[in-house]
Amino acid sequence: MAQYTPMMQQYLKIKAEQKDAFLFFRLGDFYEMFFDDALSASRELEITLTSRDGGGEDRIPMCGVPYHSAENYIKQLIEKGFKVAICEQVEDPRTAKGVVKREVVQLITPGTVMEGSMLDEKENNYLASVSKFSDGTYTVSYNDLTTGENSIALVTDGFDAVLSELFNRPVKEVVVDESFDEAKQQMFKDRLGFTISYSNNTEIDEQFYPLVESIHSDKFIEGFGRLLQYIKHTQKRSLDHLRPVQTIELKKYMSLDMYSKRNLELVETLRKQGKKGSLLSVMDHTITAMGSRTLKKWLERPLLLKEDIKGRHDQLEGLLEHFFERETIREQLSSVYDLERLAGRVAYGNVNARDLIQLKHSLSSIPEIMETLKQFEHPAVDDLFRSIDPLPNLRLLLEESLNEDAPITIKEGGMIRDGYHAQLDEYRDASRNGKKWIAELEAEERKQTGIKSLKIGYNRVFGYYIEVTKANIAHLPEGRYERKQTLTNAERYITPELKEKESLILEAQDKSMELEYQLFLEVREQVKEYVHPLQLLAEQISRIDVLQGFAQLADEQSYVRPQFNENRTIDIKQGRHPVVEQVMKNESFVPNDVFMDQTKDILLITGPNMSGKSTYMRQLALTSIMAQIGSFVPCESASLAIFDQIFTRIGAADDLVSGQSTFMVEMLEANHALSHATENSLILLDEIGRGTSTYDGMALAQAIVEHIHENVRAKTLFSTHYHELTTLEEELVRLKNIHVRAEEYEGHVIFLHQIQDGAADESYGIHVAKLAELPNELIERATYLLNTLESGRQEVSAAKEQQQLSLFEEEKPVQQKNTSPLEKRVGSLNLMEMTPMDAMNELYQLQKQLKS
């Protein structure tokens, strides 16, 4: 260190404490970066890399960004998963002795962003922490710093369940203990794309005790303490807006693992990984940003308690009955800004006058919304507004204190309304009258001197001055004008009268701006007292917004209220896929029924590719999810069971990140469903077994169906191309064959997309290839091969039948023979007690033994 200059030593000392972050080191009007930070930042931000002398033998790499435009550069780094430590000058350079004192005033990370330009207004920005305990359980804690929301859940089903839980929310960063398993940390990075941070301290400071008053679990205290300590370490400022921790009781919500959420495309599509084309995009008819975030939370956690679901349906029904009043509500909601994040910024201390004006407008709309809701005259709708506090005192404070056209900056004046503070009014009066006096003086000087071009001006360096062109200098009276500045074509002067008035005017202006800044800080502190009531108000308005959006959707798309039964029956009449029907637009979507009562647990679906099997399966899952978040559903009528979990295996995609093939992913997802499903779950399995050879696949598919039928007993939709499986209907009493109807006309297949009872008679694979416009010679060759194969299959089948008949022509004495160890092992297997994965492994071992 001694070889470097004092300033560079200061930088290195601070950087040593921020090893995993870019250090933005304030030097004048720039944030500078040095050494490795400079090399990396110049590459990531595509800015010029230069160097400077720092006292050592070699020049030091350096790059920098202007202070006034740093936010955009910080945003780029945060979006790439980096952290940025902001190091500011904390003493006046004019009074500093030696190197100006500097400190890190904030650490910005992907999970702790507060700046609005770096956030998606319709999505939460969660920081999470994961703590593991000796009994194999985990706690998962969440915080959204922008809204103050805190929550925690206990996960008892292993690390895969932790991944699914984290996948369920828009988490950007996860905090763990430094001893946390490295392989699991890598899974956070590779599979979920998280930034990893560390905190070993789990103590909760006394000032934060109110946040955990309702928590009585030591695991929860430790898990949340880790998260809180990290927030405290990175933010270094007021955290008064943090809300009490809510316990997420996972058993109160439908469980959706990461596979199901992805395969059903609830919040983003598989292909483009964007919102458009997802269920969220179809359902989001909210007006406010906080309403949109609430809808996403509801989608992530469908309800399980019938009374809670009924409560939402009742309120939705009440809103749906009054079209004109609902339109008025939508119009009024458009004047409500993001109360959640405004409250967060107030507490955080980075709110400006414009933000508070937005808050005032929002509060002005609340009484209007409440009055409109009264007009619905529906008891469930009354519950939506009965407990709302419109905060009239806060609204009055903002109306009396702030100018409507307040500027963005808070140090240049113009924020406080006239009449709010007597001393400020006096300063303003002096300043305004002074300017009027200046205008009168200019007119008087022109009259006395006869110089029409004479003018009085002002600049920050010289203050007020009288400017006269050089051609008119001779007309100035002697003795009263004192030269102040010489220009190329003019001279600037000062007079005793002007000097005296300048002192009064400038003093009034300076004092006015200084007082106004102090008054604004006082107003902001008064608003800060309303942070928690504002957060409660935001929750209530968000709920109203989501439910009116549900009503709007139900009205536009003719959705109906679902009913729930206790006997595990699914009875949907003319059900539709909520996303596909909107994507099709002008084309008419073909609706279908779904019926499964206590006597039927499995629907085995056959039919050609492109006929709609996957759509039919997905629409049942989406209908159930929509019903359990409180929405009406796309059909003519629906009586549903409440599902505790939904498992899906739809679509094939290699997991290249973890090096797993399509077939392995297929087996892992199938195993996950079979291991965790209950009789109150819904399982969707599409084309299981297609990732391996025909006979392997067919055997596994049949074993899985049998296992679900005999052991799991969950409601299951199982689509397949293995027509041989349709014979299972004769063996499994709670299985029913259905197929998607298609017709052949003049050598072409026509998909009717209608579900009918029974098995499909053929697969139409070559017809689908023809629709894909494969070469004609290829289609003809495939047709020839198909006919040949089918002829051969018929001959083999006839030979087998003849062979079987011959067995009964005459009885032959049974010959005793020695039983081999291999036969004994096969005979000892209890297939009905084995999972499909166990069966596959056992088959592999037997084959290996046979070959040896």
Q: Per residue in 132-176, pLDDT tens?
A: 999 999 999 999 999 999 999 999 989 989 999 999 889 999 999
The pairing of beta strand 645-649 with beta strand 570-575: unpaired
**Higher pLDDT among residues 660 and 359, named by residue:** 359
Q: Is the pLDDT of residue 794 over 60?
A: no
Burial label for 763, CB within 10 Å (0-12, 13-18, 19+), is middle
SS3 state of residue 843: helix
Average pLDDT of span 35-56: 92
C-alpha to C-alpha distance for 563 and 489, rounded to whole angstroms: 88
The full DSSP string for 529-582 is: TTHHHHHHHHHHHHHHHHHHHHHHHHHHHT-B--EE-SS--EEEEEE--TTHHH
92-101 pLDDT per residue, tens? 887 888 889 9
- The crossing angle, in degrees rounded to 10, of helices 323-333 and 531-557 is 140
Q: How confident is the model at residue 755 (pLDDT cuts 50, 70, 90)?
A: very high
Q: How confident is the model at residue 708 (pLDDT cuts 50, 70, 90)?
A: very high
The pLDDT score that the predictor gives to residue 793 is 53
C-alpha to C-alpha distance for 287 and 306, rounded to whole angstroms: 28
**Higher pLDDT among residues 847 and 607, named by residue:** 607
The pLDDT score that the predictor gives to residue 222 is 95
The pLDDT score that the predictor gives to residue 496 is 87
Query: In whole angstroms, how far apart are CA 844 and each of 584, 663, 696, 698, 839?
Result: 46, 15, 11, 16, 9
The pairing of beta strand 30-34 with beta strand 22-27: antiparallel
Q: How confident is the model at residue 503 (pLDDT cuts 50, 70, 90)?
A: confident
Query: In whole angstroms, how far apart are CA 775 and each of 454, 734, 768, 781?
Result: 89, 44, 13, 10
Q: Best-predicted range by mean pLDDT among 43-57, 217-231, 271-285?
A: 217-231
Q: Best-predicted range by mean pLDDT among 45-49, 654-658, 808-812?
A: 45-49
Average pLDDT of span 549-576: 96
**pTM for the model:** 0.81
**Side-chain half-sphere CA neighbours of 586 within 13 A:** 0
Write out the CATH class of domain 284-391+530-557. Answer: mainly alpha
Radius of gyration (Cα) for the chain, nearest Å? 37
The architecture (CATH level 2) of 422-524 comes to Orthogonal Bundle (1.10)
SS3 state of residue 31: strand
Please state the residue numbers annotated as binding site: 607-614
* Topology match between the domains 120-248 and 422-524: no
**Higher pLDDT among residues 765 and 578, named by residue:** 578
Q: Is the pLDDT of residue 803 over 90?
A: no
Burial label for 246, CB within 10 Å (0-12, 13-18, 19+), is middle
Count Cβ atoms below 10 Å from residue 552 Cβ, excluding itself.
Answer: 20
C-alpha to C-alpha distance for 305 and 644, rounded to whole angstroms: 10
SS3 state of residue 128: strand
Q: Are the beta carbons of 9 and 1 closer than 8 angstroms?
A: yes
**Higher pLDDT among residues 506 and 799, named by residue:** 506
475-494 pLDDT per residue, tens? 888 888 999 899 989 999 99
Q: How confident is the model at residue 553 (pLDDT cuts 50, 70, 90)?
A: very high
The pLDDT score that the predictor gives to residue 659 is 45
**Side-chain half-sphere CA neighbours of 113 within 13 A:** 27
C-alpha to C-alpha distance for 667 and 664, rounded to whole angstroms: 5
**Higher pLDDT among residues 820 and 289, named by residue:** 289
The CATH number of 6-108, from 3.40.1170.10, 2.30.29.30, 3.40.50.11540, 3.30.465.10, is 3.40.1170.10
Average pLDDT of span 350-375: 94
The pLDDT score that the predictor gives to residue 429 is 84
Q: How confident is the model at residue 748 (pLDDT cuts 50, 70, 90)?
A: low
Q: Is the pLDDT of residue 223 over 70?
A: yes
CA nearest neighbour of 491 among 502, 499, 483: 483
Q: Is 334 left (phi over 0), alpha (psi -120 to 50) or beta?
A: alpha
Q: How confident is the model at residue 763 (pLDDT cuts 50, 70, 90)?
A: low
Dihedral angle computed from the Cα positions of residues 20, 26, 32 and 36, in that order, rounded to the nearest 10 degrees: -20
The pLDDT score that the predictor gives to residue 292 is 96
Domain ranges of the chain: 6-108, 120-248, 284-391+530-557, 422-524, 563-773, 778-808, 821-851
Average pLDDT of span 87-106: 88
Query: In whole angstroms, how far apart are CA 802 and each of 788, 792, 793, 808, 809?
Result: 21, 15, 14, 10, 11
Express as a percent the part of the chain with pLDDT over 90: 61
The pLDDT score that the predictor gives to residue 655 is 43
Q: How confident is the model at residue 432 (pLDDT cuts 50, 70, 90)?
A: confident
591-632 pLDDT per residue, tens? 999 999 999 999 999 987 777 889 999 999 999 999 999 999
The pLDDT score that the predictor gives to residue 134 is 94
The pLDDT score that the predictor gives to residue 341 is 93
Please state the residue numbers annotated as binding site for ATP: 607-614
Express as a percent the part of the chain with pLDDT over 70: 90
Domain 563-773 has CATH 3.90.1150.10: no
C-alpha to C-alpha distance for 85 and 234, rounded to whole angstroms: 9
Name the CATH topology of 120-248: Nucleotidyltransferase; domain 5 (3.30.420)
Helix (H) or strand (E) holding 215: none
**Mean pLDDT of the residues in the chain:** 88
